[in-house]
C-alpha cells in the first residue's frame, strides 16, 4: 500500500483563502478590520522566524498585524501592562505571546493575563477548561489544524481508534480532547507508556507529537491507518547540512498507512492558517456576528 499524502500546504492555502474572504466581508459589510497582536520577548531565532511569517500571513489575508518586540530583560510587570493594554484595545481581536518566554517570566501567569476571548493560541486556562468540557472555546492552533485535516480526509471520525503520542498542553492534550469531541476512542501515550508499538498498532489514527526524529516506524502502523505527524525536527544530513524530519519515519510509515502528512508541508502550514482562523472567529464573536463555518470546532 502507498499512502495518500495529506497536503497540509495546499489545505492551509484554502483555509487562508476562506479567512481572506471573511476578512473582506467584515470590512465591506461592517467596517471592521480583524487585528492580531503578536508579542515577542527576546531574540530567539526560531521565534523570530515564526513571528515574521505570522505577521506576513496576517497581512496577506487582509488583517491588521501589530508586532510588539520587547527586550529580553523586559520585566513581568511591563509585559503584563502591555497585555492589559492589548486586552482593552478594540482594534485587537487576537493576542499571541510567542513561547518560550525567557526564564525570568512566568508563562502561565502571562498567558492567563490574556483576555480569554482574545486568546487565539487557546492556552488560557479558561479555554483549556472550555475545550475539556466540550464547550465553545478558542482551540489551540496545531491540534485544530490536525483535526481539520482529519475531518477533510475522513468525513466522520466517530468510533475510530485514535492514539495520540505526546501529552503536552499545547499539542497532545488538546488534540486528545478534540478527537474525543469527534467521538473517537482516544488513547494518550507518553514516555512511560508500556509497549508503545503495540498501542500504536491498534490505532486507526496516529498523532505523533513527541519531538523525537523519526521515532514512529512503519512496523508500528496498522495497515490503512492515518498518520498525522506533528513533529518538526532538524537533523544532520550525512553529506553535510541539515534537513527537517517529523516524529514518524516517512518512507516506512507511508508504505503501510492509508494516509500521512509529510514534514515539511503537513501540519506546520496548518498551524499558522488556524491562527488566522482563530483570529477571525474571535473577531466575529467580539462583534456579535455569526462565526464562519468550518474554521473552528
Ligand atoms: P513536548 O516536548 O512538550 O512533549 C513531548 C511529549 O512526547 C511528552 O508528552 C513526552 O512524554 C512524549 N515523549 C517523549 N519521548 C517519548 C517516547 N520515547 N515515547 C513516547 N512518548 C514520548 O513537545 P510538544 O508537544 O511541544 O511538541 C511535539 C513535537 O511537535 C515537537 O517535534 C515539536 O517541534 C512539534 N510541534 C510542531 C508544531 C507545528 O506547528 N507543526 C507546533 C508545536 C509543536 P512525557 O510527558 O512522559 O515526558
What pLDDT does residue 253 have? 98
CA–centroid distance, residue 97 to ligand 1 (Å) = 20
Mean pLDDT over 175-195 rounds to 98
Q: What is the pTM of this model?
A: 0.97
**Whether 16 contacts 60, CB under 8 Å:** yes
Domains, the chain, with CATH or none: 31-115 (3.40.50.10860), 141-269 (3.40.50.720)
Which of the listed residues 15, 168, 173, 265 should we mutate to test ligand 1's pocket, taking the one with most ligand atoms within 8 A of CB? 168
Q: Where are the beta strands (DSSP E) in 43-160?
A: 64-70, 94-97
Residue-level pLDDT at 124: 98
CA 140, CA 188: separation in Å to the nearest integer? 17
Dist. CA 32–CA 23, nearest whole Å: 8
Task: Say what the pLDDT of residue 70 is.
Answer: 98
Average pLDDT over residues 205-230: 98
8 Å CB contact between 248 and 231: yes
Distance 127 CA to ligand 1 centre (A): 21
Task: List the residue whose alpha carbon is closest to atom 1 of ligand 1.
Answer: 168
pLDDT, one tens digit per residue, over 34-84 is: 999 999 999 999 999 999 999 999 999 999 999 999 999 999 999 999 999
| Mutation test residue for ligand 1: of 147, 149, 191, the one with most atoms within 8 Å of CB | 191
Average pLDDT over every residue of 84-108:
98
| Torsion from C-alpha of 33, 107, 105, 80, nearest 10 degrees | 40
Whether 197 shows a pLDDT value over 90: the answer reads: yes
Cα of 4 vs centre of ligand 1, distance in Å, is 25
- Among protein residues, the one with the nearest Cα to ligand 1's atom 42 is 142
- Atom index in ligand 1 nearest the CA of residue 211 equals 32
For the chain, counts of helices (H) and of strands (E):
10, 11
Cell numbers given for 265: 508541508
Residue nearest to atom 31 of ligand 1 (CA): 211
Catalytic annotation, residues: 54, 98, 121
Residue with the nearest Cα to atom 4 of ligand 1? Answer: 168
- List residues near ligand 1 (CB under 6 A): 142, 165-168, 170-172, 189-193, 196, 209-212, 230-233, 247, 267-268, 271
Once rounded to an integer, what is the mean pLDDT over residues 177-206? 98
CA of 168 to the centre of ligand 1 (A): 6
The mean pLDDT of 172-178, rounded to a whole number, is 98
> Atom 3 in ligand 1: which residue has the minimum CA distance?
168
Binned at pLDDT 50, 70 and 90, residue 187 comes out as very high
pLDDT grade, residue 1 (50/70/90)? low
For the chain, give the percent of residues with pLDDT over 70. Answer: 100
Residues 6+ apart with CB under 8 A from 65: 35, 36, 38, 54, 55, 58, 59
Ligand 1 atom with minimal separation from the 247 CA:
32
Q: Is 164 helix (H, G, I), strand (E, B) or coil?
A: strand
pLDDT of residue 241: 95
Amino acid at each position: 500500500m502507498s499512502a495518500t499524502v495529506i497536503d497540509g500546504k495546499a489545505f492551509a492555502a484554502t483555509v487562508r483563502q476562506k479567512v481572506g474572504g471573511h476578512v473582506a466581508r467584515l470590512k465591506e459589510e461592517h467596517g471592521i478590520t480583524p487585528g492580531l497582536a503578536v508579542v515577542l520577548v527576546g531574540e530567539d531565532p526560531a521565534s523570530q522566524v515564526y513571528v515574521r511569517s505570522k505577521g506576513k500571513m496576517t497581512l496577506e489575508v487582509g488583517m491588521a498585524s501589530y508586532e510588539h518586540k520587547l527586550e529580553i530583560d523586559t520585566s513581568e510587570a511591563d509585559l503584563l501592562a502591555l497585555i492589559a493594554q492589548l486586552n482593552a484595545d478594540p482594534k485587537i481581536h487576537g493576542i499571541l505571546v510567542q513561547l518560550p518566554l525567557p526564564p525570568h517570566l512566568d508563562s502561565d501567569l502571562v498567558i492567563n493575563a490574556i483576555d480569554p476571548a482574545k486568546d487565539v493560541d487557546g492556552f488560557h486556562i479558561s479555554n483549556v477548561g472550555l475545550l475539556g468540557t466540550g464547550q465553545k472555546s478558542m482551540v489551540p492552533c496545531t491540534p485544530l489544524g490536525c483535526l481539520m485535516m482529519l475531518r477533510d480526509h475522513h468525513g466522520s471520525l466517530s468510533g475510530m481508534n485514535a492514539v495520540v503520542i505526546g501529552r503536552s498542553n499545547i499539542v497532545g492534550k488538546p488534540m486528545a480532547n478534540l478527537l474525543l469531541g469527534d467521538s473517537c476512542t482516544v488513547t494518550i501515550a507518553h514516555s512511560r507508556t508500556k509497549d508503545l508499538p503495540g498501542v500504536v498498532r491498534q490505532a486507526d489514527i496516529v498523532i505523533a507529537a513527541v519531538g523525537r526524529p523519526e521515532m514512529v516506524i512503519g512496523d508500528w502502523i496498522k495497515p490503512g491507518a492515518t498518520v498525522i505527524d506533528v513533529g518538526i525536527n532538524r537533523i544532520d544530513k550525512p553529506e553535510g547540512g541539515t534537513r527537517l524530519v517529523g516524529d514518524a519515519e516517512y518512507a516506512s510509515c507511508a508504505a503501510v498507512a492509508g494516509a500521512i502528512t509529510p514534514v515539511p508541508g503537513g501540519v506546520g502550514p496548518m498551524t499558522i492558517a488556524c491562527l488566522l482562523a482563530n483570529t477571525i472567529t474571535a473577531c466575529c464573536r467580539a462583534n456579535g456576528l455569526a462565526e464562519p463555518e468550518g474554521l473552528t470546532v
